[in-house]
Structure 1
């Protein structure tokens, strides 16, 4: 970024800069240089920079060593602040569930006590006003400040009419808002719009399903989806009661019975199961009900899971799926928050120990994937009506 800015400015000539691919220095050989640094905290220990620019630090998270790197850079700068050394961080609004460097800085007492300058422009708008053109435009103008290059008209059109992006994403990246809701996976209004109380699920319907199992910490559930119209329903859920003791466990025999009952009640064409804790049981289900119907689906594989999560989210936004309004499924879906990884967006609980479970949301994602694969395999029986004339 700095290399591009300098190469298009008078600074190259005025200061006699040699702008290389990996280093910027003076052509005369005088001391001083600008170097990009990778997020490797240990190899940067002991350096003595006079200025450090930390860019996009909402992406500096534990998985890429960001917080450790930040601490190293900060220590190096702090050793020479009396000589004028300084650091600056630039960032978008951070995700409150990732513990990024941007969040660490914002929540630091150094900011609250006024020792670090924290400057931020946020657009003042609520999610409920995201369809109001005047409110959207005013919030964009507020958030972008004197950034004259911003296409306010284009951004306004996108926010008002592009339904492929969640409103929470616009709040974070366009309005620069930091809020717990900014990481919510599903917009309640969009989920509610997929409710359908007509054409109920009936015994004998062709379905696919998703299974996510646990023993103690999380819930265990099964969600089905009808092949012909993508209508979701809860087959069963085993969730820790509110006042249960620490020794509470999922009734594994009840889970086994529910699976067998499901196969006896519906025409189950495809079942995706997340294997942890139930791998042996899943193997038995495949033997008993067909290994061409029961399959393992490891949700800890981010590439595959991110694609599945994206397909489910898109299906909700364009109303390509329906649900019965089951409170349990809705609660789990709306509890889910997003986590950004290099492969895309995953869903998770709002914290590892959270009691706000999301297991049925995972089941629903697997069920929709199972439906797609069942249809692709040619298993959807199309009902044809006969017209008889007299």
Structure 2
């Protein structure tokens, strides 16, 4: 059985489900000589495709029954250096004598070809999309799992991005003293044909907000009003209008500034996260969109199933943290040492 272009087999297009079904059938017939052949271009490490999973199974986990064969050009070739590009193409294509080396070199150096496309599809280098908001390496470098867990009573800020049907609804927290992010709640449309009328469980959202205020010392929260404006008003009355604020993410100047601060914090390691898979997925799903006021994040296409709402909530939580600290709300409990 042959699966071609498995870098396109991703969860959003049901490719992973198709591959898993085929793989199970092959495993059942392995004794009779059944085999599964995968062919692919270099994968995008932000997509968690079947190509990526196979690569990680072999190269990182040492799966013993997979034969993996790959030729990759030297990484980070200067794409403007024709001689270096030519050497890279020859290296990547090996003994594929039928390849038009001159044509591929010309395609790589065509100004319409992005660097991400050149590296992935012509030089076989694993490469993220050029318009991706965060790199996986940068995001992973900010991960901190068990060393300093977030505990009840910690001072936090909250970010909330709400929807009802199409997009996800996300509630994220950021600890004040170090900016460590965590997910307080995420409600995603399962895209299940059996649930065509799926809606966010509003009561579950309300319960999560209540639980957050009861569990932690919430000093500041920014909430995007569409779909939940009435609820946000009630939260302000219940938990204090000095702790619950509206933050309209459709106002580009303010959102661009918050997005840039978040991105800069990731780049220099001033932000932490607990490795939550959903938060990571949403942050790495986000691509950039340039507007006159700066850079915003968005989905890779309007109808994309690759959601980013937890990323938006995280930006709001990190921004709320900054404003809480600027307002003087960060208190440090000092240990008292008594000598005898």
Q: TM-score range by the shorter chain?
A: 0.5 to 0.7
- The correspondence for 2:81, drawn from 130, 141, 148, is 141
- The correspondence for 1:302, drawn from 242, 252, 275, is 252
Q: In 1, are the aligned partners of 2:142 and 2:273 still within 8 Å (CA)?
A: yes
Q: Are 1:371 and 2:321 counterparts?
A: yes
Aligned to 1:56: none
Q: CA deviation at 1:257?
A: 1.1
Q: Distance in 2 between matches of 1:373 and 1:127?
A: 36
Q: Are 1:344 and 2:284 counterparts?
A: no
Deviations 1:236-279, CA, capped at 9 Å, x for gaps: 11111242522100011111111111101110000000000000
Q: Distance in 2 between matches of 1:186 and 1:249?
A: 29
Q: Are 1:191 and 2:129 counterparts?
A: no
Q: Distance in 2 between matches of 1:174 and 1:382?
A: 53
- The correspondence for 1:219, drawn from 129, 150, 168, is 168
Aligned to 1:208: 157
TM-score by length of 2: 0.65
Q: Distance in 2 between matches of 1:346 and 1:242?
A: 26
1:120-131 to 2 correspondences below 5 Å: none
Q: Distance in 1 between matches of 2:148 and 2:43?
A: 36
Aligned to 1:181: 129
Unmatched runs of 5 consecutive residues or more in structure 2: 1-41, 46-73, 86-110, 118-127
Q: CA deviation at 1:176?
A: 4.4
TM-score by length of 1: 0.57
- The correspondence for 1:249, drawn from 186, 199, 204, is 199
Aligned to 1:27: none
Residues 175/352 of structure 1: CA separation in 2 closer, same or farther (3 Å cut): closer
Unmatched runs of 5 consecutive residues or more in structure 1: 1-124, 129-133, 146-172
- 1:232 is paired with a residue whose SS is strand
Q: Distance in 2 between matches of 1:135 and 1:209?
A: 40
Give the stretch that moved more between structures: 179-188 or 210-219: 179-188
Q: In 1, are the aligned partners of 2:279 and 2:311 still within 8 Å (CA)?
A: yes
Q: Distance in 2 between matches of 1:370 and 1:204?
A: 18
Query: Which protein has greater RCO, CA pairs closer than 8 Å, 6+ apart?
Result: 2
